[in-house]
Amino acid sequence: MRYLIGIGNYTGFDDSIGLRVAEVVGEAGLDVGFRAIDLGGNILDLLHYIGEDAEQVLIVDSARMGLEPGAHAFFAPDAVETRKELAGFSSHEGDLVKVLEFAAALGGPLAPITILGIEPDEIRAEVGLSATLERRMDEYVAAAVAFFGESQA
Amino acid sequence: MQRNVNIDVHHLTRVEGHGNIVVNVTDGVIEKCEWQVPEAPRFFEAMVRGRHYTEVARITSRICGICSVGHTLASVKATEAALGIEVTPQTKKLRTLLKHAENFDSHVLHVYVLVAPDLLGAQSAFALVPTHGEVVARALRLKRLGHEWGSLIGGRTTHPTTVVPGGFSKLPTVAELKALREKIVAAVPDLTATLETVAALAPAIPAFDRPTEYMAVSSDDEYGMYDGYVQTILSDGDRAKYAVADYRSCTNEYVAPQSTAKFCRNRLDSYAAGALARFNVNYDQLHPEAKKVAESLGMQPICTNPYMNSVAQVVEVVHSAYEGLRLLDELIAEGIKDEGLVAPTKYATGASAVEVPRGILFHEYTYDADGFCTGADCIIPTGQNHANIQRDFDALLPGLLASEKSEDEMRLAFEMLVRAYDPCISCSTHYVDVTFVR
C-alpha cells in the first residue's frame, strides 16, 4: 500500500495544512493507487504506516524551512536536521523528524518516505488557514497527487 | 531536611500540552507550590454553535488527537440524548468495542512511552531503544493492535469516521471481526510480558498516599466505559450517584488563579478521574483476568496512591483485551445486521458521559427545531484532575522536604506525579522546523 499521510493540528491555523491536503485528496476521490490518511496530531501512529507493509509514503506537513510563506518542497527525512527543541518525546509534543529517527533506530525495514513540507504563513490557535495557503491549496493537492503518479511511472 | 528549594519546570515534557511545576521553599518556608496550566482556551463550544447535528461530532473529535474516539462517542451520545435517539444493541456493542480499542491503545502508549522512561531512568522512549529494544518493540506491537482494532470499528483511530448520530455509517464484516479476534488472542504473550515488565518496575513507583474522591462512569451492565451514570467513592467506601444530565452538580467548575483551565470539585475540595478512579469505583465489574493482574501487582481498592494510576492503566489494558474478546464473540455469534441510522424524534438538550483514557468526559448540546446547535458544554477529564494534582502537590512537598532527597529527585517526584495522571492539556502544534543539510 502507498500512503499520503497528513499531519498537523486542525485548530493550529496553518499547522493544519497537511490534514487539509489529505482531506481534499480523499473527499475528491483523487487517492487512486494510494490511500490518503488524516493522522491528526497522533504522529506516533505514523509508525504503523511506514513499516515493511508500505511501499511508499508521502507525509504532508506544515514545515518551517526558511522559504517564502506558502512555498512547498519535497525532501527526504535525512536531508534535514530538526531545529525543534523538545526535551522529551511525547505523543503530542510532536516532532515528525524525531519520530522518523525513532522508527529508523528500531532497526526494522522502512518504506521509502518523502516529506511534502509547506511553509506556513501563521501558526496560531484557530481553525482555518491563512489566505496565503488557502489560495495555493490546489497547487499543494496537485503536487501531492502528481508525486504518486510520477513515482509510479 | 532541604531548607531551600527552587523547582521551575516550564512546559513539563511527556504530557500532552503545556503545564508548569513551580516550587519555591526559602529557609524551610513554603512560598509557592503550584501546578500551573497556561494553555490558551480553544473555544470548541463556540465553534459548534450554528452547526447541524450531523457535523458536531466531526468538529469536537478534534479536541484531542489521542482521545478522539472518546470525544466522538461523547459527542454523538449527547446529540442522541438531545434528539431522542435510542440506538440499537448492536450499535452499543460496537461502540463499546471501539471504546476499549482507544483505552487499550492510549494506555499502552502512556505506560510504555511516557511513564516507563521515568522508571528506567531514561529521558525518553527514544533512549530505551538501545538498552530495552524488545520492550519498545513489544510496546509498538501492542499499540499497532490497538490502532488496527480502532481502525476496523471506527474507520480510523484518530478522528473516527463511522460513528454518527443514530448508529454507524459503515459496519465491519463478521470475517473482519474474526480476524481481529485472532489478533487479540495472539497478543496475549505480549500482555503477559507487559505484566512482567511492570511488576519488575513497580518498586520504583513512589509510595505516596493521599485519599481523595474518585469519580467514574458506572453501569449495571459493564465496567462503565461507554455508558451509565456518574458515581463517586471516597476512601472509606462511601458512594454517591448522579444522573449524567446533572453533571454540573458533581463537577462544580471554578476558576483557579494559577490556571487558564477551570478546576473542579465535588464532595471534597478536589476529585480524581482516570484509570485509578475507575478501578476504585468499578472494581467489582473488572474482568476476572484483570482482577488477577491487579492482585499480582499488589493493587486493591480503594487505592489512594496517585502514582498507581499507571498500574491501573495496565490492569485496564488486560480488561479491555478480554472484554474485547467477549464482545467480539457476541457480535460474531449474532452476525452483523445492516441497520439504518435511527432518526431524531425531538430537538432539545442532551448530555452524555463517556470514560476516555484520562477519565470521565462530559458533553452537552442544545439543538433548535431544525437540528442546529445553539449551545454546547464539554468538560474534559484533565480539567477535572487539575485541582487534585494541586492537592497532591500540597501533600507531597512536606514529605519530600523532610526526606534527604536532592532538588533533582524532588523535581522528578513532581514530574512523575503529573505524568501519572496522563494529562492531556491540549493539542499542541506539530509543524516541522528544519534546516536542510543536503
E strands in B126-260: 163-164, 167-168, 213-218, 229-233, 239-242
Is A68:A132 a contact under the CB 8 Å cutoff?
A: no
Residues 85-114 of A with CB under 8 A from B: 86-98, 101-102, 105-107
Residue B54 pLDDT grade (very low, low, confident, very high; cuts 50, 70, 90): very high
> What does DSSP say about strands B373-379 and B359-367: parallel, antiparallel, or unpaired?
antiparallel
Helix (H, G, I), strand (E, B) or coil at B363: strand
- Whether A79 has its CB under 8 Å from any CB of chain B: the answer is yes
Name the residue of chain A whose CA is nearest to B427's CA. A92
Per-residue pLDDT at B20: 81
Cα separations (Å) of B185 from B109, B210, B244, B322? Answer: 20, 38, 35, 9
Dihedral sign computed on CA atoms, order B113, B115, B119, B124: positive
Q: Spell out the domain ranges in chain A.
A: 2-152
Is pLDDT at A90 greater than 80 in this prediction?
no
Whether B126 and A105 lie within 8 Å, measured CB to CB: yes
* pLDDT tens per residue across span B282-309: 999 999 999 999 999 999 999 999 999 9
- Whether A74 has its CB under 8 Å from any CB of chain B: the answer is no
Q: Mean pLDDT over all residues of chain B? A: 89
Q: Name the nearest CA neighbour of A91 among B71, B197, B44, B358.
A: B358
Q: Name the nearest CA neighbour of B53 among B348, B302, B260.
A: B348
**Helix residue ranges, H only, B252-380:** 275-282, 288-296, 309-334
CB count, 10 Å around CB of A143? Answer: 18
Is B406:A95 a contact under the CB 8 Å cutoff?
A: no
Is A86:A96 a contact under the CB 8 Å cutoff?
A: no
Is B271:B258 a contact under the CB 8 Å cutoff?
A: no
φ/ψ of residue B52, rounded to 5: -70, 150
Per-residue pLDDT at B212: 98
CATH topology of domain B44-384: Cytochrome-c3 Hydrogenase; chain B (1.10.645)
Share of chain B above pLDDT 70, in %: 92
pTM for the structure as a whole: 0.88
φ/ψ of residue B336, rounded to 5: -95, 120
Residues of chain A with Cβ-Cβ distance to B133 below 8 Å are 106-107
- Whether B124 has its CB under 8 Å from any CB of chain A: the answer is yes
Is A42:B65 a contact under the CB 8 Å cutoff?
A: yes
Residue B39 pLDDT grade (very low, low, confident, very high; cuts 50, 70, 90): low
Q: Spell out the domain ranges in chain B.
A: 44-384
Whether B428 and A92 lie within 8 Å, measured CB to CB: yes
Q: Which residues pair with B231 in a beta bridge?
A: B216, B241
Residues of chain A with Cβ-Cβ distance to B113 below 8 Å are 44, 89-91
- Whether B437 has its CB under 8 Å from any CB of chain A: the answer is yes
Query: B289-311: string of b/e by CB count within 10 Å (b at 16+)?
Result: bbbebbeebebebbbbbbbbbbb
- Whether A4 has its CB under 8 Å from any CB of chain B: the answer is no
Is pLDDT at B32 greater than 60 in this prediction?
yes
Whether A90 and B16 lie within 8 Å, measured CB to CB: yes
Per-residue pLDDT at A94: 61
Of A13-17, A79-83, B48-52, B387-391, give the lowest mean pLDDT range.
A79-83
Per-residue pLDDT at B202: 86
Share of chain B above pLDDT 90, in %: 63
> What does DSSP say about strands B213-218 and B229-233: parallel, antiparallel, or unpaired?
antiparallel
Residue owning grid cell 462517542: B73
Is A17:A62 a contact under the CB 8 Å cutoff?
A: yes
| Model ipTM over 0.90 | no
Name the residue of chain B whose CA is nearest to A108's CA. B137
Distance from CA of A33 to the nearest CA of B (A): 19
Per-residue pLDDT at A88: 46
Is pLDDT at B431 greater than 60 in this prediction?
no
What would the CATH number be for the domain defined by A2-152? Answer: 3.40.50.1450
- Whether A122 has its CB under 8 Å from any CB of chain B: the answer is no
Q: Which residues pair with B8 in a beta bridge?
A: B22
